[in-house]
Chain A
């Protein structure tokens, strides 16, 4: 009990939070792009499952880690493209089509798993790769620079996403399409092209999010491996007010509290486990409610755009 908050414990908790946040980051950053352009994709979890299975399958059969990530990204991309086709070209109701994509991914990933592998197996996933020099820094070294390649990738993605959204013409177009598609259209921005791009990108990143679970963090595949993690990622996009840096913050808070509640239970602090496991969710809901007044979602979010001809 007395060692609850020693330095090494805190380092362990933070390293744990960094790992736990990884799949959320890939999925939530991808979803941020989609939502910024006005498309709500609720299928994230299903795309993650397909990515998780594809990546796992490649590594299971060949041991090729990079190939696993590439296939996961490709499968995610294709599913993102399908979601874009349904929601942008067909102008379908986004919430319902997203759930359809989710159910498809949930069922299809399990079907493929049953047919191609058929029992729970482990693989050698991405090894922990300490970054030379940086990993020797006290405190920060073991937390930030002693992780695996896909963990680093997730954190590198955040500043890139921030840069694209805030400092490039493409980012400006994405935001314009999400706020006022009619105006953007009048100015010659193709609403459907932009939305196709963001939703497909989101799908690709969701695929990688799944692979980060199946071939980097957990190194197994099982039915419903993500266990609804993709839906938490969507909540984190709202939490972060559609801004990559805040999405990062939200993912880290959620993951840190999750790591903390495990630790609290492990060291035997007498809190009922039901209460402990609720805390990350309660915290997220509280912050969501508080932040709802703070930031406004993209005006055209989840609204299909039809040109008036």
Chain B
């Protein structure tokens, strides 16, 4: 009996701890009038220099545009457990947020179940192309192969060793599109270059990403790229060995100003702006979006600290133009 008591105390302790470290930021009190209120659930940290940060940065930008009094947002980040994310989404829905963004393709099934219970609330999820036919769900994705292609063209021009390395996370979604687009870009510019690709099987395994980068460099790579929040490990190795790096999802120049050439960034403001105006007009969903170079949801950001030769940059600009006007077909993913 004494033991049982201790067990109960302990369980309570564990429960308190696990909720205490859930990472949720306090939600603003819910009211139906006043500012437009958005709640976002992301799978990794909002400062991951990758997928989650791209959404966070967009929300901050929208808030600056609309003003703090007209736009409020809360974020629950690091929700890598889908069950936790699902309960957060449901909580936000009951608190009367205008729009709830489930920022992760893994949240789809949960959203499909929750959204019909809250017909007055608008939901958005991505990256995905499917609104489940629900009237209050938006979907958004990124044609990340486009920036991948541009980076590939640039990488081929800067490559001297004949070998380029790609540190991929999991062979799905925008990560796979990016990698395939990158390979297509390199091959279009110079079919003789060998592009070595590996996938670590995780979005967050920094140690494995770092070791993969070492292996790529061992195999002769002098230019590398990669995707997902784990790439900080690979960027660290690239920096140490003086190997050039191309980023995607968010601007990674700050990590290694010496070797980051350019990054494709996701600018979700294009999507969010349209969703917000639709929701205000009373349309709560039913539309699917895609970021592209054409709608400027995808942008190539060049690292000002890296001295990129003008003729190489011109190749990148030509590739962007070609993709936008349709003269270049990447042959990967949707267009």
Contact surface of A with B, Cβ cutoff 8 Å? 9, 12, 16, 19-20, 23, 86, 90-93, 96-97, 99-100, 103-104, 106-108, 110-111, 114, 118-122, 213, 217-220, 222-227, 229, 258-259, 262-263, 265-268, 272-274, 276-278, 304, 306
Residue of A nearest to B204 (CB): A227
CB contact between B206 and one of A93, A107, A222 (< 8 Å): that residue: A222
Residue of B nearest to A9 (CB): B218
A contact residues around B207 at 8 Å (CB): 20, 23, 213, 217-218, 226-227, 229
A contact residues around B18 at 8 Å (CB): 100, 103, 107
Identify the 10 closest CB pairs spanning chains A and B, nearest first.
Answer: A107-B21, A277-B201, A265-B198, A273-B199, A100-B14, A223-B45, A266-B196, A92-B10, A119-B47, A12-B218
Of the listed stretches B106-114, B230-238, B271-279, name the one at the interface; the rest are far from the partner chain: B230-238
Evaluate contact between B14 and A258: CB separation under 8 angstroms.
no
A contact residues around B171 at 8 Å (CB): 272-274
- Given known A262-B211, A268-B196, contact A120–B78 (CB-CB < 8 A): no
B210 at the interface (CB under 8 A from A): yes
Q: What is the CA–CA distance of A114 and B233 in the complex, to the nearest angstrom? A: 19
B7 at the interface (CB under 8 A from A): yes
A contact residues around B199 at 8 Å (CB): 265, 273-274, 276-277
B23 at the interface (CB under 8 A from A): yes
Q: Given contacts A90-B10, A99-B14, A266-B219, list 17 more A-B pairs with CB under 8 A.
A: A92-B6, A97-B14, A100-B13, A106-B21, A107-B17, A107-B22, A107-B23, A108-B21, A224-B80, A227-B206, A262-B208, A262-B211, A263-B215, A266-B212, A266-B215, A268-B196, A273-B199
Evaluate contact between A110 and B201: CB separation under 8 angstroms.
no
Evaluate contact between A273 and B168: CB separation under 8 angstroms.
yes
Evaluate contact between B21 and A104: CB separation under 8 angstroms.
yes
Evaluate contact between B201 and A225: CB separation under 8 angstroms.
no
CB contact between A107 and one of B3, B10, B20 (< 8 Å): that residue: B20
Q: What is the CA–CA distance of A100 and B206 in the complex, to the nearest angstrom? A: 24
Evaluate contact between A110 and B206: CB separation under 8 angstroms.
no
Residue of A nearest to B49 (CB): A120
* B182-226 interface (Cβ within 8 A of A): 196-202, 204-208, 210-212, 214-216, 218-219
Residue of A nearest to B254 (CB): A119
Evaluate contact between B211 and A223: CB separation under 8 angstroms.
no
* B222-260 interface (Cβ within 8 A of A): 229, 232-233, 235-236, 239-240, 254-256
B11 at the interface (CB under 8 A from A): yes
Q: What is the CA–CA distance of A304 and B10 in the complex, to the nearest angstrom? A: 14
B121 at the interface (CB under 8 A from A): no
B152 at the interface (CB under 8 A from A): no
Number of interchain pairs (Cβ within 8 Å): 155
Q: What is the CA–CA distance of A267 and B195 in the complex, to the nearest angstrom? A: 9
Q: B11: shortest Cβ distance to chain A, in Å?
A: 7
Q: What is the CA–CA distance of A104 and B206 in the complex, to the nearest angstrom? A: 21
Evaluate contact between A19 and B211: CB separation under 8 angstroms.
yes
Show 17 residue pairs from A and B whose CB-CB distance is below 8 angstroms, ordered by the A residue: A19-B214, A91-B3, A100-B10, A100-B17, A100-B18, A122-B232, A122-B239, A122-B256, A217-B207, A218-B207, A222-B229, A262-B198, A266-B198, A268-B197, A273-B171, A273-B198, A306-B3
CB contact between A90 and one of B6, B168, B210, B256 (< 8 Å): that residue: B6
A contact residues around B210 at 8 Å (CB): 217-218
Evaluate contact between A104 and B17: CB separation under 8 angstroms.
yes
B165 at the interface (CB under 8 A from A): yes
Q: What is the CA–CA distance of A20 and B78 in the complex, to the nearest angstrom? A: 25
Q: What is the CA–CA distance of A36 and B100 in the complex, to the nearest angstrom? A: 50
Most B CB atoms within 10 A — which of A9, A20, A223?
Answer: A223
- Given known A20-B207, A91-B6, A122-B236, contact A110–B214 (CB-CB < 8 A): no
CB contact between B235 and one of A122, A223, A265 (< 8 Å): that residue: A122
B264 at the interface (CB under 8 A from A): no
Q: What is the CA–CA distance of A119 and B251 in the complex, to the nearest angstrom? A: 12
B292 at the interface (CB under 8 A from A): no
- Given known A12-B218, A96-B10, contact A227–B47 (CB-CB < 8 A): no
Evaluate contact between A277 and B215: CB separation under 8 angstroms.
no
- Given known A119-B254, A220-B206, A222-B45, contact A259–B211 (CB-CB < 8 A): yes
- Given known A92-B10, A103-B21, A106-B21, contact A274–B201 (CB-CB < 8 A): yes
B296 at the interface (CB under 8 A from A): no
A contact residues around B219 at 8 Å (CB): 266-267
B130 at the interface (CB under 8 A from A): no
Q: A264: shortest Cβ distance to chain B, in Å?
A: 9
Evaluate contact between A258 and B196: CB separation under 8 angstroms.
no
* B1-58 interface (Cβ within 8 A of A): 3, 6-7, 9-11, 13-14, 17-18, 20-23, 44-45, 47-49
Q: A22: shortest Cβ distance to chain B, in Å?
A: 10
Evaluate contact between A273 and B211: CB separation under 8 angstroms.
no
- Given known A23-B207, A103-B14, A265-B197, contact A120–B47 (CB-CB < 8 A): yes
B contact residues around A277 at 8 Å (CB): 199-202
Evaluate contact between A220 and B233: CB separation under 8 angstroms.
yes
B contact residues around A266 at 8 Å (CB): 165, 196-198, 212, 215-216, 219
